[in-house]
Amino acid sequence: MTSTLKSKIQQFYDASSGLWEQVWGEHMHHGYYGPTGKEKKDRRQAQIDLIEELLKWAGVEQAEQILDVGCGIGGSSLYLAQTFNASVIGITLSPVQASRATERARGAGLATEVQFQVADALDIPFADDTFDFVWSMESGEHMPDKEKFLQECYRVLKPGGMFLMATWCHRPITPATGQLRAEEQQHLAEIYRVYCLPCVISIAEYEAIADSLSFQNIRTADWSDAVAPFWDVVIDSAFEPKALLGLIQSGWSTVEAALSLGLMSQGYRRGLIRYGLLCANK
């Protein structure tokens, strides 16, 4: 990962994570609104439901040593540790996130079981065959080299271990749909700029990469309908009084991201943005 991109991602999350914790709580990812996206529910419950539905979809019933790649402020890490009575290590590029996640683990009485550190997912600082479960909740979109990202996740997995990721994607490229049109590329370029993303790819491309790396039992799914309502809920919450004050205090990059939330909502509506899942074994 280039130093410039790493710096942008770090600064973005250093600046914005405190605000989103205040508004949203510990989970900084989409929510699950039922298979068709029609279920009405509390926004924080929807985020917990997404974790549970992902685990159910992948068939993850136990884990002892877990790596959370792109851990944010530790929401998934703590949830997974409690669910599986497991040891978890979370990695993030943001020192602010790692520090806050450590505080939250301590507050939950899990400081021994759950630990956090600043690290690059394209150069994971752990030995081969270390973890029996590698979890990536909406971090793949930040990776400039998707193959290296999956390769590193594969490397640190124990034989037989499970990799499970959920990530932002773009629509499939097929003979029927054709290549991305100029206006679609422009739409994506704005999302990349605002949210510090190098690029997104289709879930079919992730599947091809996983297959080339010798992952086994590869499964993918498109849950766009289930999570798409999330962005309209975010838009509403971003302009609540307490959020507005926090936005102003967080700096321009956070303000711009809030003002650009509609890009994601529109992307889902036009079928350009997709929410892709992939699970596989080593």
User: What whole-number distance in Å separates Cα of residue 101 and Cα of residue 40?
Assistant: 29
197 secondary structure, DSSP code: -
pLDDT digits (tens, 9 = 90+) for 119-175: 999 999 999 999 999 999 999 999 999 999 999 999 999 999 999 999 999 999 999
User: What whole-number distance in Å separates Cα of residue 78 and Cα of residue 74?
Assistant: 6
Checking if the pLDDT of 2 tops 80, the result is no
Residues 210/278, Cβ–Cβ less than 8 Å: yes
Percent above pLDDT 70 for the chain? 91
For 181, other C-beta atoms within 10 Å of its C-beta total 11
Q: What is the reported pTM?
A: 0.92
User: What whole-number distance in Å separates Cα of residue 8 and Cα of residue 93?
Assistant: 10
- List the structure tokens of 133: 């479960």
Superfamily, domain 3-281 = Vaccinia Virus protein VP39 (3.40.50.150)
Residues 198/6, Cβ–Cβ less than 8 Å: no
pLDDT digits (tens, 9 = 90+) for 76-125: 999 999 999 999 999 999 999 999 999 999 999 999 999 999 999 999 99
126 secondary structure, DSSP code: S
Give me the residue spans of the domains in the chain: 3-281
Largest separation between any pair of C-alpha atoms in the chain: 53
Helix ranges restricted to H, 95-221: 95-107, 146-156, 182-195, 203-212
- List the structure tokens of 151: 């390769």
User: What whole-number distance in Å separates Cα of residue 153 and Cα of residue 131?
Assistant: 9
Residues 136/69, Cβ–Cβ less than 8 Å: yes
Residues 45/269, Cβ–Cβ less than 8 Å: no
